[in-house]
A and B are shown apart, each in its own frame.
Chain A
Amino acid sequence: MDLILWRHADAFEARYGQADADRELTPKGEEQAAFMGQWLDSVLTADTRILVSPARRTQQTAAALGRPFETSPAVASGASVKSVLEAVGWPRSKQPVLVVGHQPTIGLTAARLMCGFEQYWSVHKAGVWWLHGERDDGQATLVTMRVPGL
């Protein structure tokens, strides 16, 4: 299956008293989301399932793609790799799945699928890691990885 991991774009720091989940995208983040959203819309098949963390910054990032999506607490900030993999049905989903989520979960998930164990990998804001795998053996292929502006 294809699993596409998309990190939210650049967001403001939390204001005093503001919950982390309420942080909004900065103008730079809006641009990043629009750039990546346009590219993703041109390459994702119409049947792609889209799971988005409930946080404001991931919801705003996903909105830049302009497709309907599901909000899923299973991919929220702080979610475990196991929670993400169960939510997407790795490796047996018939449809590609796009997850709009957070660090460090995205880097940990990519490492788990490519190496068989979790490792902290840096993932750029609004960066996309596109993985493909048929088995749960830690040998997924990184099909493409892109960041805004390159």
Chain B
Amino acid sequence: MDLILWRHADALEGREVEDDMARALSHKGERQAQRVAHWLNHVLPATTRILVSPAVRAQQTAKALDRKFKTVPALSPEGSVSGLLDAARWPEAREPVLVVGHQPALGLTAAYLLAGIDVDAANPWRIKKGGVWWLRCRERPDTGPEVMLVTVRSPDFL
């Protein structure tokens, strides 16, 4: 299956908004989300299931796609790798799954799936704001399932 991890775009800082869940995208973040969504809409199959964190910045990022999505509490900013993988039904889902969420869970998930390592939660693999990591699990007849990276993009590298 294909699992596409998309980190929310640039949001207003905590100083400006008290409730972390209510932080909205900055103007820069809105532009980032639009640019990345434009690319994703070209490359994501129509059957892609889209799962989004309830945080406002993730919801706003996902809305730039203009597709239907489902809000999943397990993808909240404090969400875990296992919560993310359960929600995505990795690796059995038949359709591609796009997850719109947060660090560190996205970077931890990428490290766990690609390298099989549990990295320190304080040092997850870095995923830029608005960045996309596209992973694929495929069955190899000789060695069993293999996870590979399809592409990594960011608003600066589309």
Residues of A with Cβ closer than 8 Å to B? Answer: 43, 111, 114-115, 119, 121-122, 130, 139, 141-147, 150
Contact = CB atoms under 8 A, between A and B. Distances in A.
Interface residues of B, number: 17
Interface stretch (B16-24, B79-87, B144-152): B144-152
B43 interface: yes
A119 B117 CA distance: 11
A122 B115 contact: no
B125 interface: yes
A143 B125 CA distance: 11
B115 A143 contact: no
A16 to B, nearest CB: 27
Given A121-B149, A143-B157, A150-B150, 6 more contacts: A43-B157, A122-B148, A139-B123, A141-B126, A145-B152, A150-B151
Interface string B25-51: 000000000000000000100000000
Task: Report the 6 A-B pairs with minimum CB-CB distance, sorted nearest first.
Answer: A144-B157, A145-B152, A141-B126, A122-B148, A115-B115, A144-B152
